[in-house]
Structure 1
Amino acid sequence: MASAESADQERRPEGGPQEQRLGPVVRRRGQVQAGTTDQRLLDTAGPSDFIHQDPWRVMRIQSEFVEGFGALAELGPAVSVFGSARTPVDSSEYEKGVRIGRALAEAGFAVITGGGPGAMEAANKGALEAGGTSVGLGIELPFEQGMNRYVDIGVNFRYFFVRKTMFVKYASGFVVLPGGLGTLDELFEALTLTQTRKVTRFPIVLCGTEYWSGLIDWMRHTLVDQGKAAPRDMDLFHVTDDMDEAIDLVTKEVGS
C-alpha cells in the first residue's frame, strides 16, 4: 500500500542528504519542510501566512491577467487616456479631458483610463456622455478614491505591471494630459515599447505644449545630444494644444 507521502516524497538517497520532493521542487538538508502538501492543504487549523508567500502571489498575478483579459477581450477599438488624479473638476484641463473622451467615443473608440478622479474621471465622463464605452483600470492604493462614477467597465488590480499590460494590450494609442509620476510611468512605458517595436502603429499624443516642453527639451538636449536616445525617437510622439488635432492624430494613425 502506498504511503501517505507518495505525492510528497521524503527520502535519503544512498550516501546523500535527506531529500524531499514537493511536485517539481526538490528540498534537501535544512530546507526540508515538515508535513506534506496535502496535509497543509487540508489542515484548516494551520497557519494562513501562505497567502503572503511568493508561490501564492504567482496565482494571484495569474488570476489578475485572466480577469483583465476576460473583461476586455470584446472591447473593440480603444484609446487610453492618461492624466493627473489631482486635476480639479473646475479646471480647463478637466474640460479638455471631457472633450477628448467625448470625441474619442464619437469616433468609435472605447476610452480606457486609470479609473480614478481628475483627468481620468473627465475622460470617462466625456465617453459616457457621448454614448461610448467608458473603461476604468484601477489600482489598489492606500490614498486613492477608487473607481469614478462614469466608468461602465471597471477592473481593479493589485499589481501595477498587470494593469500596465491591459492599458497597452487593449488600446490602439495613448492620449496624455498633464499628469504626475503615474502618467510619466505610462508615457515612458509606451515610448519604450514603441521604440523597441514591441508594439507597432501606436500613436502617442501629448496634450499641452507648455506643460510638456521642459521634458521634451531635456529629452532632445540631454538624452539625444548625449547619445542616450536617437534623434528619430523624438518622432515617437506628437505634442499639441489643439484637442481636435489630438483626436485627429491618434484616430488617423490608428485607422491608417
Structure 2
Amino acid sequence: MDPTPAQPQSHHASHDREIESLAEFDEVVSARGTLAHYRVQAVDLTARTDALMSVDTTGSVFLGCPMDPEAAARVRAAGALVFPPIPGLPFDPYRALVYSPDDLYTSLDEGYEATPDALAYAWFQQTKADGDVFASMLRAIHDDAVSDAVDELLAGARVVGVMGGHAMARGTDAYAGAARLGRELTRAGFTVATGGGPGAMEAANLGAYAAPYGDRMLDEALRVLAKAPSFTPSITDWARAAFEVRERWPQGGASVGIPTWFYGHEPPNAFAAHIAKYFANATREDGLLARSNAGVVFLPGAAGTVQEIFDNATPNYYESRGEPTPMVLVDRAHWTERLPAWPLLTSLAAGRPMERRVTLVDRIEEAPEALKRLGG
C-alpha cells in the first residue's frame, strides 16, 4: 500500500486570468507586459508601483490589493476596477487561498480568544445582530472567495466526505476508529473532507494527517490528544494538544476541513491542512457534500449528521449531479434504532439508481471496503 496521501492540487490552468500571489504578478508582467482583463486577488502591490504605472490595466479588477495611492488612481483612470482593502476586519474578504491551521490559530499562545478564528466569530456575532448591509456584503464576498479557492484546490481530486458528530471525544474507541478510517481513505488515494470541526470530523482529519507515518504514530498521537478530550471547557487546551501533535510529527498528510463561524462554539480542528471556513452555514453544508464526488461516510451523529444524510440523498434521488455517489452509514444500531435514518433512506432509494449506492455497515473498519464496493 502506498503510504503517500493524495495531495489536493492548486489548479490555475482554468483560471489563467487570475493572479493570486506576487510571484504570479511578476511572471505575468514580465512575460506578457500587460494586466488587461486580469483579476488580481489579495496581493500586496505596494512595492509594484512602477509596474502599475506602466502596464495596460484596461478591464482589470483588483480585489483587496494594497497599493500606492498614485498607482491606484492611475489604474482606475486606465479602466481598472479597484476594490480596496477593508481596514479593521479580522479576516480578508478577498482572500485568494483557503486557510491553514496556522492562519486561524495565530496568537493561540495568548489564548483562543486572541486568535483570528475567535475574532472573526466575534465580528460575525456583532454584525449579524445589527443587520448592517455592508457587513453582510463582506461576508458574502468572503464566502464566494473561499468557494473559488477550494474549487481550485480540489480540482481533479477524488474526495470522500466523512460526516459525524462534534461530541465524539478524544480518547474513545469511536474517535480512534474514525481516525483509522481517515488514514485508510487517504492511503487509498482519496482526499478526505470533513466539516472541519471537533469530534468525528477532527478524528478523520487526524487520520489523514497520520497517513504518511507508520501505524505507531497514530497510537501515540491519540495518547497526546486524550489529555484534552473535548473543546469544552477549554478550546485553548484542546487546540494546544493538536498543535503538540503537529510539532512532533510535522510532515502530515493533507486533507480538507469545511467548517463555519455559524457554529462559533465549535472551533476548527488543526489537522486539516486546508480549511475552507464560511460564514454562511447553508453554503458550507451544500459545498461540502457537492465536493464529495467519490462518496460520503456517515459516522454516528445527531441532528447535524441526520441533516447531512438527507442533504446528500436529495441530489442522489433526483440525479441532479449526475450518477448518484456512494453513501455509507456506519453503526447499524445508531441508524436503525437510536436515530432511524436508514429505513427512510432505503425507502427513498428503492427502485432508483441510488439504491445500489447506499449501504449500512456495523463497524468503521468496514467503511473503506464498502465505499470501494459501491464505486467510490
TM-score, with normalisation over the residues of structure 1? 0.69
2:301 matched to which residue of 1?
Answer: 179
Q: Decide which moves more: 241-250 or 152-161.
A: 241-250
1:253 matched to which residue of 2?
Answer: 374
Name the CA distance, whole Å, in 1 between partners of 2:300 and 2:351.
24
Whichever residue aligns with residue 147 of structure 1, its letter is: P
Name the CA distance, whole Å, in 1 between partners of 2:256 and 2:265.
17
Q: 1:248 to 1:78 in 2, by over 3 A?
A: same
Q: Decide which moves more: 90-99 or 232-241.
A: 232-241
Name the CA distance, whole Å, in 2 between partners of 1:57 and 1:152.
23
Residue 149 in structure 1 maps to residue 230 in structure 2:
no
Residue 67 in structure 1 maps to residue 192 in structure 2:
no
Whichever residue aligns with residue 66 of structure 1, its letter is: D
SS of 2:265's partner is: coil
CA displacement 1:55-98 (0-9 Å, x = unmatched): 66654553343233233335x11200011111111222112201
Asked if the contact 1:83/1:183 (under 8 Å) is kept, the reply is: yes
SS of 1:79's partner is: strand
1:115 matched to which residue of 2?
Answer: 196
Q: Decide which moves more: 148-157 or 61-70.
A: 61-70
1:21 matched to which residue of 2?
Answer: none
SS of 1:144's partner is: coil
2:178 matched to which residue of 1?
Answer: 97
Q: 1:211 to 1:160 in 2, by over 3 A?
A: same
Q: 1:88 to 1:58 in 2, by over 3 A?
A: closer
Asked if the contact 1:61/1:159 (under 8 Å) is kept, the reply is: yes
Asked if the contact 1:79/1:175 (under 8 Å) is kept, the reply is: yes
- Per residue, is there more strand in 1 or in 2? 1
Q: 1:137 to 1:91 in 2, by over 3 A?
A: same
Name the CA distance, whole Å, in 2 between partners of 1:87 and 1:100.
14
SS of 1:206's partner is: strand
Asked if the contact 1:64/1:162 (under 8 Å) is kept, the reply is: no
1:88 matched to which residue of 2?
Answer: 169
Name the CA distance, whole Å, in 1 between partners of 2:159 and 2:145.
23
Deviation of the 1:182 alpha carbon? 1.4
Gaps of 5+ in 1: 1-40, 43-47
SS of 1:149's partner is: coil
**1:189 is matched with which residue: 301, 311, 315?**
311
Asked if the contact 1:116/1:144 (under 8 Å) is kept, the reply is: no
CA displacement 1:27-65 (0-9 Å, x = unmatched): xxxxxxxxxxxxxx99xxxxx944146x66654553343
1:10 matched to which residue of 2?
Answer: none
Deviation of the 1:247 alpha carbon? 0.6
Name the CA distance, whole Å, in 1 between partners of 2:349 and 2:368.
27
Name the CA distance, whole Å, in 2 between partners of 1:78 and 1:126.
15
Asked if the contact 1:77/1:109 (under 8 Å) is kept, the reply is: yes
Q: Decide which moves more: 246-255 or 80-89.
A: 246-255
Gaps of 5+ in 2: 1-82, 85-130, 213-252
SS of 2:275's partner is: strand
Asked if the contact 1:201/1:253 (under 8 Å) is kept, the reply is: no
Residue 219 in structure 1 maps to residue 333 in structure 2:
no
SS of 2:371's partner is: helix
Deviation of the 1:192 alpha carbon? 0.8
Name the CA distance, whole Å, in 2 between partners of 1:142 and 1:202.
27
Aligned length: 203
